[in-house]
Structure 1
């Protein structure tokens, strides 16, 4: 079996063909002067290789061993994709000059082109043949996909245009496609896949997507059935996930700014970025309403909602504890230490603030008054995250020195100690709905689940949960853990009962 690859060369050949088992080359590929964007192998004998690139050329090679035969200079802009038909009788090139040209598969001579009637109005980025070699699918910067009928003489006429629903803007440009059996698959610049049925193209396509940047946080809707969760990434994208289904759509915000901190309820989102502002955004399905903002006087490092009265929020910056009622700042309490994390009880009467010095300070909240009540010392590094258990009988804290500690809320004593099995900073933690398990996610790529009624050594470890580190973690139910990470993935784990 032979493999052909192409690229920018990095000082070597722009195109290489080699045997899959030995790696030995099977030809020389001259003729290109700039990056080669696409290549393809003729699937039938006599074998041929075709390439195309940024030098406006498509090149034709005979072999093996493969040698340059001739160049095709019919395009006037980047030639973005080149593909042989499955029966090997033809190949097609598509270009940023908005044209698709069809050639004889055996000789490389031009025999036809896609009709100008109904043609794309933007650069054509990709093309794919139908299994019977009688049609092609093209996608373009004009945000449409088109199906063309290809006649025996090589002419192409428009069969239909497929429109993919999107979010607006350049992210909706279609940059890739595949005709696989009865599936017509397109992918947009924003990373959304749309799958149409070739036999029933009028049917609404199935859409799914994922994050393109690091997934930074997860938020579970506790009352949802089936369980629904939101994830966000540093580029400001918010995606919805439904347990048992997967991708549930993208939330469209009117102000798509970067997100640093993020919490959510069924009816609204609360977010903050890097501009000292906290936004409350009403949610209706996949659409977000007009955001209300509040300036908290510093960059937030934690956002917390009192679940029993969601209009109340506690926000912490490096030097202040800020109370919000809806979008109004009702209280700002300056502190003499550096705040790194915080949590608020569901009824909004108590807050726990973690600091750079590794101490946990417990505050009572009465109206707009915040009063320090106790200081807990156990951690040996800056506090990174704090969470109350769902039954509010415990809370758990974690630090950058790889340790987590579960505390009894009533006695303020350590409930579970020696949670020291990560090898790097603990980024996030979550409680199971029954308050029995606490899960931690770390920079060391692992997630660890502890049973608070058993010694920490009886932990369950998920090694390599996310390449680059785990940044978000949540329980969908007592047996299902969801994690988000540096690799831009959301993963669902089924926990075995012990």
Structure 2
């Protein structure tokens, strides 16, 4: 039985021009946020301590801990709210259709009995409050005419609810059962966030008009504003109160975060502007924040989570990041005595991870083209993109690209490198294959059939090319010329992946018809038969360093590990490895396999 030993999870999914919600639990210093269909719980004290919940049928948008920390309420783009257990088997308490459209915000009442949600809805209320265990309505919420972006529950009795949205309004409701009390039009643009202070005495609204307005928590009347002196110069997307209700943290499109002192009259003055060592691009705009105990957390559009200390805000922040979009390729390297993982996502980001410690930075690139394939060889990371270019990236501490990209002039299908000949890269395109030595293309071969995958042997003397027709073509490499030696016909679907074993004695292939095959390189005979246990197409495969195991990853969310010399039925199965499919595999040693997938996670598995 394989055991999950590490999981490097995604950062929150961000959207330009919109604030995002990140919630926390003070007792455990844990945060919760969403990306795709995943709801992610993460410890701030130990960022590798994570849990991913993937039971939503639609992309999840918001999640919050219950006041006692035992339950999670999460909403998605379909308007569904799920209430599920945080611990144990994560049992489902409630599954209800709260709105007819996307849920943008959600909050519990302080007694844990009620939940309020808001968002988009067609022809019905844009806000709804209900009992947490039955879904029974506890009020009517009139007063908004457009999408409601944020809602907040007064944490002390008498209970109140405040909402705000795209109609520039801040509405106030009394209850339960809740009824409309008053409405304010203090903002001249979208009101992005509304939050009650922990003591319930006041609440704040912030908007795209760069304003922050404060209201009395019991009556809903306006009592003050954030000072314009030293204030934000861009849209304010989020606000979060300090635990003592005396300060507020705000973040803005102007790429700054500010701490405000809130006086007794309800006005706010600047106490501190947090500084970031950023380059100033659009991805540095700040779209989310949270004040949790001594942590001041800000989130940028590019997914960088900065953790400042509230007691010492001048101290440089701890940075946590990762991928925002689905991961499509992975490479492993032992570099300078460190086990390093490189992963790339569909937005062109390459992230470097250190096995055992997690996020170690992004690989800086001169462009942002989407990456198709990754490989590592002798201190270099080789990447090829959908821009038809191959790049050799030195694995230096500063992570800078020195060499110019090689334009192969066609859409790249696969990339492989020869361990024994580190300057040799083998690139396949739709129509043929290209041999690259160092930084130069030395040959282009039109093979006369549709190429779907290719691999080069560790000694650089042989190559295997898989076709759309399901055939494997074996070539000898003489100089820079390919000479076809044989054609292997076993697969019943297009070849999707092919790789040589590290010792060069075998190669493995996988197809879209869910079958994998291990071949003897010399005799061309099948070494492991009937590797037909996936229920969907095979996306990737990888060999263990000692050439005794081969792992396959599939669209069926599973990883299968076969042992050469044993029947395929003796396989190790890792079910549910990645929600949405496994996209990449690599071994770090004989008993450790690393996987990436549609769920934006990098996972490390220990095999028996």
TM bin (shorter chain)? over 0.9
1:353 to 457, 462, 465: 465
Supply the distance in 1 between the matched residues of 2:451 and 2:574 (Cα, whole angstroms): 30
Per-residue deviation at 1:290?
Answer: 4.7
- 2:242 aligned with 1:130, yes or no? yes
- 2:165 aligned with 1:53, yes or no? yes
1:192 to 283, 292, 304: 304
Per-residue deviation at 1:125?
Answer: 0.3
1:261 to 373, 380, 401: 373
Contact preservation (8 Å) 2:168, 2:189? yes
Per-residue deviation at 1:270?
Answer: 2.8
Per-residue deviation at 1:286?
Answer: 5.1
Partner-residue secondary structure (3-state), 1:292: coil
Contact preservation (8 Å) 1:92, 1:100? yes
- 2:184 aligned with 1:80, yes or no? no
Per-residue deviation at 1:266?
Answer: 5.9
TM-score for the superposition, normalised by structure 2: 0.79
Per-residue deviation at 1:265?
Answer: 3.8
Unaligned 5+ residue runs, structure 2?
Answer: 1-112
Supply the distance in 2 between the matched residues of 1:351 and 1:264 (Cα, whole angstroms): 18
Contact preservation (8 Å) 1:167, 1:252? no
CA deviation profile, 1:16-72 (whole Å, cap 9, x unmatched): 011111211111111111111100000001111000111111011111111111111
CA deviation profile, 1:433-489 (whole Å, cap 9, x unmatched): 222211100111111111113211011111121122111111122222211111222
Supply the distance in 2 between the matched residues of 1:3 and 1:216 (Cα, whole angstroms): 37
1:276 to 378, 388, 392: 388
Per-residue deviation at 1:376?
Answer: 2.2
- 2:317 aligned with 1:214, yes or no? no
Per-residue deviation at 1:355?
Answer: 1.4
Supply the distance in 2 between the matched residues of 1:397 and 1:166 (Cα, whole angstroms): 44
Supply the distance in 2 between the matched residues of 1:217 and 1:365 (Cα, whole angstroms): 27
Partner-residue secondary structure (3-state), 2:283: helix
Supply the distance in 1 between the matched residues of 2:550 and 2:202 (Cα, whole angstroms): 59
TM-score for the superposition, normalised by structure 1: 0.96
Supply the distance in 1 between the matched residues of 2:399 and 2:445 (Cα, whole angstroms): 35
- 2:291 aligned with 1:182, yes or no? no
Unaligned 5+ residue runs, structure 1?
Answer: none
Per-residue deviation at 1:274?
Answer: 3.1
2:456 to 334, 341, 344: 344
Contact preservation (8 Å) 2:392, 2:401? no
Contact preservation (8 Å) 2:468, 2:493? yes
Runs of 4+ in 1 over 6 A off after TM superposition: none
Contact preservation (8 Å) 2:252, 2:287? yes
Please list, as runs of the form range in 1=range in 2, the aligned pairs for 1:25-424 lying within 5 A after superposition. Answer: 25-166=137-278, 168-223=280-335, 225-265=337-377, 267-285=379-397, 287-424=399-536
Contact preservation (8 Å) 1:143, 1:163? no
Partner-residue secondary structure (3-state), 2:412: coil
Please list, as runs of the form range in 1=range in 2, the aligned pairs for 1:456-471 lying within 5 A after superposition. Answer: 456-471=568-583
Q: Rg bigger for which structure?
A: 1
Contact preservation (8 Å) 2:341, 2:354? yes
Contact preservation (8 Å) 1:52, 1:81? yes
Contact preservation (8 Å) 1:283, 1:289? no
RMSD of aligned alpha carbons? 1.7
- 2:595 aligned with 1:483, yes or no? yes
CA deviation profile, 1:81-129 (whole Å, cap 9, x unmatched): 0100000011111111111111111111222222222211111100001
Partner-residue secondary structure (3-state), 2:493: coil
Partner-residue secondary structure (3-state), 2:569: helix
CA deviation profile, 1:202-253 (whole Å, cap 9, x unmatched): 2222222232222101011134533111111122111111111111111121
Per-residue deviation at 1:187?
Answer: 1.2
CA deviation profile, 1:375-431 (whole Å, cap 9, x unmatched): 222222211111112222222111111111112223322111111100111110111
Per-residue deviation at 1:284?
Answer: 3.1
Tell which deviates more after alignment, 120-129 or 161-170: 161-170
Contact preservation (8 Å) 2:369, 2:387? no
Supply the distance in 1 between the matched residues of 2:118 and 2:526 (Cα, whole angstroms): 59
Contact preservation (8 Å) 1:281, 1:292? no
Supply the distance in 2 between the matched residues of 1:235 and 1:168 (Cα, whole angstroms): 19
Contact preservation (8 Å) 1:31, 1:68? yes
Supply the distance in 1 between the matched residues of 2:419 and 2:140 (Cα, whole angstroms): 67
CA deviation profile, 1:127-167 (whole Å, cap 9, x unmatched): 00111111111111111111112122212121211123446
2:559 aligned residue? 447
Partner-residue secondary structure (3-state), 1:301: strand
Change over 3 Å in CA distance of 1:104–1:284 after alignment to 2: same
Tell which deviates more after alignment, 45-54 or 365-374: 365-374
Per-residue deviation at 1:168?
Answer: 4.4
Supply the distance in 1 between the matched residues of 2:312 and 2:138 (Cα, whole angstroms): 43
Supply the distance in 2 between the matched residues of 1:49 and 1:87 (Cα, whole angstroms): 14
CA deviation profile, 1:298-344 (whole Å, cap 9, x unmatched): 21111122223322211111222211122322111221222111111
1:11 aligned residue? 123
Aligned residues: 496
